Amino acid sequence: MNPLVRILGGGSALLVDATFLFILGISFLFLGIITVLMVWFVWRYRKSRHPVAEEVKESVWLEVAWTLIPTVLMLAMFEAGFEGFQWMRAVPADAMTVTVSAQMWKWTFVYGNGRRSPDLVVPSDRPIKLLLHSTDVIHGFYVPAYRIKEDVVPGRENYLWFQPDTEGTFEIMCSSYCGERHSYMRANLRVMPGKEFRRWYGAKTGKRSALGARGIMEDAGCLVCHSLDGSRAPGPTLKGIWGRRETVASDGVEHAVNVDEAYIRRAIREPSADVVKGFRTIMPVEALTEEELAILVRYLRALR
């Protein structure tokens, strides 16, 4: 393991920082040595002292030195990085597993008891394993405070783990450009004391329908792409959508439709079936219950 981590202990943040500082220290050391030598050679072999150029004689020991020293340093840096990589991929047996779902443009965290959350909530007394899935394009799960980052690739399960050691709230971002609203793809990592987390984990969340139409849309990520005030967004605005006449493409054929209950239900259940002209097919299928659909239909009917 990285020497600094072995001596000081700590998790992925310290491990990454230790490797970074090790490489940075070597870089600054040689920057100083090379700069000093350059200045000394410019002064020592200036034209006024050596008006006639002389052939430089070879030095076997010098050539051996400047071959071996960089080789040893490069191997040391590789070893530090590789040891850190192995440590980060070796998940402890007692780690708690959370499934992470990424889509344009939101994160969803699903726990072993079925609880879903827009934020990653974890205890501070247990290692956490994250199973990473993408429903559309390549994303990057990134928590700067803990120095953890991993690609989230559609069609492939990836994973990472970390040991929460500092309680508080930290930012989660997407590190791979994933489309127009990439910068909106944020969430929070909330690290709680063990007892507080267990109360949160075991609490009844109730039905999503209890959140109301606005809450359902926020939880499902609808408002990332659809505005409620008429402003431009990646998807059509929902303001005044009821009764609006839209030109849509169905199987490549354009035709006009009136937005009614049947159209809204079909747009949610099968978002790629009728694509509004001027917009792309990027909306994922969201598993809404019949009750939730009815709430949204009533809300959109009244949204003028």
| Digit-coded pLDDT (tens) for 89-135 | 888 888 999 999 998 888 989 998 888 888 999 998 889 999 999 98
SS3 210: helix
Instruction: Determine contact, residues 127/91, Cβ cutoff 8 Å.
Output: yes
pLDDT band at 33 (very low <50, low <70, confident <90, very high): very high
Region class of 61: left (phi > 0), else alpha (psi between -120 and 50), else beta: alpha
Percent of the chain whose pLDDT exceeds 70: 93
* Residue 113 pLDDT: 84
State mean pLDDT over 174-203: 88
State mean pLDDT over 165-171: 89
Instruction: Determine contact, residues 271/281, Cβ cutoff 8 Å.
Output: yes
Considering only CA atoms, which of 90, 187, 97, 180 is closest in space to residue 141?
187
**What residue spans of the chain are helical by DSSP H?**
3-8, 12-44, 60-89, 194-202, 212-220, 222-225, 261-269, 290-302
pLDDT at 4 > cutoff 70: no
Region class of 97: left (phi > 0), else alpha (psi between -120 and 50), else beta: beta
Backbone angles phi, psi at 36, to 5 degrees: -60, -45
Average pLDDT of the residues of the chain: 84
Residue 190 β-bridge partners: 121, 169
The CA distances from residue 254 to 242, 250, 269, in Å, are 20, 6, 20
State mean pLDDT over 210-229: 77
Give per-residue pLDDT as tens, 228-280. 887 887 778 888 888 888 888 887 778 888 888 888 888 888 877 778 887 87
SS3 154: strand
